[in-house]
Amino acid sequence: MKIVLDKIASTTRNARIPREVLLSDEIPAQEGMVLAVRIHGRKTTYNTLEDVHGRMIELNDGDVIAGVLGSRRALRGYAGAVPPSVKVGDMLDVLNLGGVIGKCTSINLELGKPLQAEVLGQILSFPVLGERQGVPASIKADAIAWADKLGKTAPIVYVAGTCMNAGKTFACGEIIRHLAKQGYRVCGGKLTGVSLLRDTLSMVDRGAVKSLSFNDLGVVSTSEAVSVPVSKGIINALNKEEPDCLVIELGDGILGEYGVQSILGDDELMGAASIHVLCATDPVAAWGAVELFKGRFKREVGVISGPATDNAVGKEFIENKIGVPAMNARIEPGKLGEFVEARVFGAKR
């Protein structure tokens, strides 16, 4: 069956899906498969889709979109998984703004129920020019390779958080902006989380010469099983740009289910770290995260940012009681940038 898509989700971008596609009713129930689905229902919140250009566009009842089968385990979002089997007519759910499609297993009260997605079929791709036999479209096609070993790398600034929405992406952006203005060649990356183009685009917007995420390696949602080889693949690919440094976001929280713990426990990845920037939501989270870094991961937090540093009360607690510098990326971005620059490069240029 041939159909015309109304919207194409950013998660599909590796597969390079055209507007007009052919569908198959044979659907592999595997993460990364690109499906055509019809949206059912309307919402006033969480009712947009990020397209392949990074634009947020409203989803309407009846829209036919291209999305990707995948899972999500978000504390402040939806949780869901790829069902054991998928067939035409099944009702699945839109699990994130990037167009991840799966069966919702837990909702977020603030977001309400997710939009439903009626499965229309597996989108076919035609990788061989002139070949009439299509193959199931997948974001694993033409993906950057995973890696078991980390190659020679520029120094890395790791930005982790106590939870999602702790200010990690904003802190990454301000650090990149400062370093780029000082004349450094900076690349950005996001190693963990669930697919969304917005975060890596913001890195380029603020001066990164290149940015990559796990989605570029054919992964919809990271986990402990894949986060380390995927991370090494991202960092190896970014180093081909010959950067002076890398600013790397660890999506979600350090105790979430996206594999951050495995990365923090990998000596090869951590051996390239020049500084760990921690974004914390509150003083208790800041204290607990520093203790986790010391006790479980044997790492040192270099500076704390995020909502816990939004005013003097939090900053003074962090510096006086926890003993870690506190700098707010929104209020004092230059100070944070200069601090990170000094840790990475020594004396200012």
Half-sphere exposure of 225 (CA within 13 A, CB side): 2
Q: What CATH number is attached to the domain comprising 233?
A: 3.40.50.300
Helix, strand or coil for residue 234?
helix
- Decide if 141 is inside a domain: no
Domain edge (last residue) among 88, 104, 136: 136
Dihedral-angle region of residue 167 (phi above 0 means left; psi in -120 to 50 means alpha; beta otherwise): left
What is the spatial distance between Cα 160 and Cα 275, in angstroms, rounded to a whole number?
11
Q: Are residues 327 and 197 in the same domain?
A: yes
Comparing CA positions, the residue from 284, 283, 275 lying closest to residue 303 is: 275
Tell whether 109 and 178 lie within a shared domain.
no
State the Cα–Cα distance between residues 348 and 144, nearest whole angstrom: 35
Look at residue 127 in the predicted model and tell me its pLDDT. Answer: 79
Q: Verify that 130 and 57 share a domain, yes or no.
A: yes
Torsion sign (Cα): 194, 197, 199, 204: positive
- The three-class DSSP label of residue 118 is strand
From CA 71, how far away is CA 29, in angstroms rounded? Answer: 12
| 151 assigned to some structural domain | no
| pLDDT value, residue 109 | 86
Rounded to an integer, the average pLDDT of 165-188 is 97
Q: What are the structure tokens assigned to 56, written together?
A: 């947020």
- pLDDT band, residue 1 (cuts 50/70/90): confident
Segment 107-138, tens digit of pLDDT: 988 888 999 999 999 999 997 766 778 999 99
- How confident is the model at residue 283, as a pLDDT? 96
User: Does residue 164 surpass a pLDDT of 90?
Assistant: no
Res. 4 pLDDT band, cuts 50 70 90: very high
Q: What is the mean pLDDT of the chain?
A: 95
Residue 317 has pLDDT above 60, yes or no: yes
Does residue 251 contact residue 172 with C-beta atoms inside 8 Å?
A: no
pLDDT 10s digits, 53-94: 999 999 999 999 999 999 998 878 899 999 999 999 999 999
Identify the residue whose tokens are 């006086």: 320
Total domains in the chain come to: 2
Same domain, 201 and 337: yes
Instruction: Yes or no: say if 216 and 227 are a contact pair by the CB < 8 Å rule.
Output: no
Q: Cα separations (Å) of 88 from 35, 41, 119?
A: 10, 18, 5
Domain that holds residue 315: 156-345
Q: Would residue 148 count as lying in a domain?
A: no
* Within-domain flag for 147: no
Do both 198 and 232 map to the same domain?
A: yes
Same-domain status, 178 and 83: no
| 161 and 127 together in one domain | no
Q: Which pLDDT score is estimated for 76?
A: 80
pLDDT value of position 133: 82
Q: Does residue 168 share a domain with residue 93?
A: no
| Residue 234 to residues 85, 173, 226, 247, Cα–Cα distance (Å) | 31, 18, 12, 12
Residues of the chain with pLDDT > 90, as a percent, come to 90
Helix, coil or strand: residue 135: strand
Within this chain, do residues 80 and 205 fall inside the same structural domain, yes or no? no
pLDDT of residue 130: 66
Verify that 251 and 287 share a domain, yes or no: yes
Nearest to 279 by CA among 321, 314, 244, 235: 314
Domain boundary among 136, 169, 199: 136
Whether residue 259 has pLDDT greater than 90: yes
Q: Are residues 217 and 81 in the same domain?
A: no
Measured over the CA atoms of residue 198, residue 203, residue 207 and residue 212, the dihedral's sign is negative
Residue 150 lies in a domain: no
Please check whether residue 173 lies inside any domain of the structure.
yes
Give the 3-state secondary structure of residue 105.
Answer: strand
Are 124 and 262 in a shared domain? no
- What does the buried/exposed string (b/e) look like for 200-218 if buried means 16 or more CB atoms within 10 Å of the residue's CB? bbbbbebbbbbbbbbbbbb
Residues 307, 180: Cα–Cα separation, whole Å: 25
Q: Parallel, antiparallel, or unpaired for β 48-50 and 56-58? A: antiparallel
- Confidence band, pLDDT 50/70/90 cuts, at residue 349: low
Residue at 196 is within a domain? yes
The mean pLDDT of 335-345, rounded to a whole number, is 97
Residue 149 falls inside a structural domain? no
β 20-24/2-4 pair status: antiparallel
Phi and psi based region of residue 142 (left: phi greater than 0; alpha: psi -120 to 50; beta: remaining): left
Task: Say if residue 235's pLDDT is above 60.
Answer: yes
